[in-house]
Structure 1
Amino acid sequence: MQQHSETCPCGAAAPCAPTWYEALAREQSDPAMYAWHTPLVLAYLLQHPNESVAREQYLDSQFRILQLYLDRGLAALNRFGQTQRRRNAVQGMGFVYDTEALAAYRPLPGQIPDRFPRSVHDLRDADGGFVGDGHESYGARMAELARATVDAYLNGPAA
């Protein structure tokens, strides 16, 4: 039987925060890896909504944005983010999502899954890094993490 203190609330065998912070730090020195910053943050926050970095009022929009990424791809996601930043800057609104742009996507279900079939630990390559096998491979792992996160909320974790 696993000891609870060694696991993560998302169901991962080890705490996810150190891996997440490491990925965030690596992005800062790797612009190609940084392209996946938004899906990394969204998946992490949705898998760990009870951590202090997650803000409950944004989780529904974040869930919809992760679906947009899966539906339309990384370039569309990054265009959406740029549009949101420009819109908020022009309107002087601070940080507000354009919910109309996300209306086509499913809302966040009310219950947090007990576990997720993938975690940030699954973003590591065979050598324990993130992009040692290339940025495309990292992107594929990121898409798998995003899909696992959305599917766990919509359907429960895969067996």
Structure 2
Amino acid sequence: MSPCEPVWHRALAEEQGDPAMYAWHTPLVLTYLLQHPQQPAAREQYLDSQFRLLQLYVEHGLDALNRFGSVQRRRNAHQGKDFAYDTEALADYHPLPGHTPARFARSIHDLCDADGRFVGDGHAAYGVRVHEWARATVAAYLTGLSD
């Protein structure tokens, strides 16, 4: 078991009882799976879309990510699909490079506050840490890529 896995499970469990913390569920999942693509929950066929979604979140924030998800759910319902992303909507973002970075500047451990809690210092502070972790993940994947 990875040393990150217990923190991952604790975050998932705590957000279930805290709707304000749950607001960051999608970037939490995206970032964790991109940092741990060997986890059973990570599905190779979705990692590229997940990487592009994480870039959308880093660039435009949580509201933009949630709006994108809402549009996708409505589109899928209208088309009778279970779940699929409109990949054209994410075409402007970098595709997932063919490697997983050897290290990341931030990890899931950085989501904890000074007391080892997720939201002990407030939900806004937790949201900032989630965003910093996501940004560090995108940066690690894009390091060395040319525009």
Query: Would the TM-score normalized by the shorter structure come out above 0.5?
Result: yes
Residue 59 of structure 1 corresponds to 47
Query: Which of residues 88, 94, 100 is equivalent to 1:100?
Result: 88
User: Which whole-Å CA distance do the structure 2 matches of 1:89 and 1:39 have between them?
Assistant: 23
1:80 aligns with 2:49: no
SS in 2 for 1:127: coil
User: Which whole-Å CA distance do the structure 1 matches of 2:10 and 2:76 have between them?
Assistant: 29
Give structure 2 stretches of 5+ with no counterpart: none
Query: Which of residues 15, 20, 30 is equivalent to 1:27?
Result: 15
TM-score of the aligned structures, taking structure 1 as reference length: 0.87
RMSD: 1.2
How many residues end up aligned between the 2 structures?
A: 144
* Runs of 4+ residues over 2 Å off in structure 1: none
Percent sequence identity is 72
Q: Give the letter for the 1:64 counterpart.
A: R
Q: 1:58-81 CA distances to partner (integer Å, 9 max, x unpaired)?
A: 000000000000111110101111
Give structure 1 stretches of 5+ with no counterpart: 9-14
Query: Which of residues 119, 139, 143 is equivalent to 2:107?
Result: 119
What's the offset of the Cα at 1:27?
0.7
